[in-house]
Amino acid sequence: GESVGLHLPTLSVQEGDNSIINCAYSNSASDYFIWYKQESGKGPQFIIDIRSNMDKRQGQRVTVLLNKTVKHLSLQIAATQPGDSAVYFCAERARRYSTLTFGKGTMLLVSP
Amino acid sequence: DAGVTQSPTHLIKTRGQQVTLRCSPISGHKSVSWYQQVLGQGPQFIFQYYEKEERGRGNFPDRFSARQFPNYSSELNVNALLLGDSALYLCASSLSPLGTANTGELFFGEGSRLTVL
């Protein structure tokens, strides 16, 4: 399929390493954040979300951290696997609007 | 269960033509959103529909229009195509609009790849 990751920041890791993908969001009033994974030729897939009244949320092998002071969001993937290779987007929802604003994305490449 | 389905998957048009893209949401989902994803960028919001009413519109010209049908499927129309309209058009469905109290997890289709020559 076609790549959606041209000219994107790229993070290259070895299989088994922990990965940290960072995102700076723009709107201090945003109240809800989501991380999506997009594999080549496919639509974005929901990974994990977090509300602005939380600092951390854990899922299966993934953790999202939110630092509202510096408007920073991170996605931590434990024991990264080759199947985790994809483009990862953070998205924010501005309060009182029913839309998501996506960041530009980070390509994660996992080597066996 | 079927996910979000979009058609066509790929299409090629020339400048000035019109295009209609179709989307069927997940069964039971009443909200449909449309996003444009230019190569190398994140998706950009175009429209959201809920219960057949427009609930949000992004910063796109009037050449872009959409509608939702009684069965909650949706169409996105783009008139007078420009080269810059070349993109992956994504449809996403959710149980409720993102602006409501419930979490609005979006389920995306695989998109319609539009190339304008």
pLDDT at position B99 is 55
Overall average pLDDT of the B48-57 stretch: 90
Q: Chain A residues with CB inside 8 Å of B107's CB?
A: 46
Pairwise CA distance, residues A57 & A49, whole Å: 8
Does residue A73 sit at the B interface (CB-CB below 8 Å)? no
pLDDT at position A41 is 86
Q: Do A32 and B88 touch (CB under 8 A)?
A: no
Pairwise CA distance, residues A112 & A102, whole Å: 30
Q: What is the three-class DSSP state of A54?
A: coil
Token pair, residue A67, equals 């630092």
pLDDT at position B17 is 98
Q: Is B52 within 8 Å of B97 (Cβ atoms)?
A: no
pLDDT above 70: percentage of residues in chain B: 92
pLDDT at position B42 is 92
Q: A22-36, A77-91, B96-110: which has the highest mean pLDDT?
A: A77-91
Overall average pLDDT of the B52-61 stretch: 91
Does residue A37 sit at the B interface (CB-CB below 8 Å)? no
Candidates B9, B21, B45: best to mutate against A (most CBs of A within 10 A) is B45
